[in-house]
């Protein structure tokens, strides 16, 4: 019933209603402009234009303790996902990333499927801990299912055979950029998120539930909700061991 298309890359599932939304309707939204008033330029003594973005990067953390509430409307969450899908970079401007955004009963359905699949493979004495963890995700407000369109990747391989072996890896780079961008923007709006990877275990059942094209390969599940506690303390390895600078 639904076909993959370069101009259609976002499914939205609200309650029992499923809509296919073209990303060409996405409006360019500046996250920093939503959070603070900025001028077109800053004085030499003023803050860098990158500071708002870097603060958002620093603030983005994994949030496991979330509830089913959201500090922003679902329409705003959709807007953020669409903006990321439209504007995030990809190799050769391939635009291989696809997204399925689920709320309400459809969010619950994703995690019912996941619990069923996990329970079937974990030892009985390990299920209680697994179920508790999965209940935490199911107790959130929604999930962004992130995909990479393998038909689009194969088309690139055919058009540029010299780089054919690299396109699957570059597709994964594109996925990571999208996941990070959406995660960071949602965090800046007051949501808590965690990135989960129950694929490929759940791929087939989720695809059937939401009529996902067969060429879309599930890469991650970004769970979101209102955070009910702060993130754990984060430690950092010495930068001098991770960054080299030559002047």
Q: What is the pLDDT of residues 166-188, one digit of tens each?
A: 999 999 999 999 999 999 999 99
| Chain-centroid distance, C-alpha 229 | 21
Rounded distance between C-alpha atoms, residue 240 and residue 117, angstroms? 43
Q: What is the pLDDT of residue 46?
A: 57
d(CA 32, CA 45): 20
For each of the domains in the chain, give its residue range(s) and CATH number, in order of start: 8-21+56-230 (3.40.109.10)
Q: Is 234 left (phi over 0), alpha (psi -120 to 50) or beta?
A: beta
Residue 194 pLDDT > 50: yes
Task: Specify whether the CB–CB gap between 244 and 219 falls below 8 A.
Answer: no
Choice between 149 and 24, residue whose per-residue pLDDT is larger: 149
Encode pLDDT of 85-100 as tens digits: 999 999 999 999 999 9
- Are residues 153 and 171 in contact, defined by beta-carbon separation less than 8 angstroms? yes
d(C-alpha 124, C-alpha 156), whole Å: 45
Q: For residues 106-133, give the mean pLDDT.
A: 97
Please write the tens of the pLDDT for every residue from 206-227: 999 999 999 999 999 999 999 9
Distances (CA, A) of 203 to 68, 114, 138, 143, 217: 24, 10, 17, 15, 8
**pLDDT tops 50 at residue 18:** no
Neighbours of 91 (CB within 10 A): 18
CA distance 227 to 225: 6
Nearest to 149 by CA among 74, 87, 207: 207
């Amino acid at each position: 019933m639904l076909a993959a298309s370069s101009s259609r890359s976002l499914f939205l599932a609200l309650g029992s209603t499923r809509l296919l939304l073209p990303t060409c309707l996405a409006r360019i939204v500046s996250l920093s402009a939503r959070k603070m008033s900025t001028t077109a330029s800053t004085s030499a003594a003023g803050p860098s234009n990158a500071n708002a973005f870097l603060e958002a990067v620093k603030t983005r953390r994994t949030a496991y303790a979330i509830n089913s509430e959201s500090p922003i409307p679902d329409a705003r969450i959709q807007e953020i996902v669409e903006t990321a899908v439209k504007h995030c970079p990809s190799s050769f401007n391939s635009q291989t990333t696809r997204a399925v955004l689920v709320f309400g009963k459809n969010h619950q359905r994703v995690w019912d499927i996941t619990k069923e699949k996990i329970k079937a493979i974990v030892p009985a004495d390990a299920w209680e801990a697994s179920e508790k963890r999965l209940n935490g995700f199911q107790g959130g407000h929604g999930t962004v299912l992130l995909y990479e369109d393998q038909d689009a990747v194969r088309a690139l391989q055919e058009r540029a055979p010299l780089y054919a072996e690299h396109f699957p890896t570059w597709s994964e780079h594109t996925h990571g950029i999208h996941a990070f961008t959406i995660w960071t923007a949602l965090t800046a709006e007051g949501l808590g998120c965690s990135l989960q990877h129950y694929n490929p275990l759940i791929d087939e059942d989720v695809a059937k539930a939401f009529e996902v094209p067969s060429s879309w390969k599930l890469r991650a599940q970004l769970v979101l909700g209102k955070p009910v506690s702060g993130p754990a303390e984060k430690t950092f390895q010495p930068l001098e061991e991770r960054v080299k600078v030559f002047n």
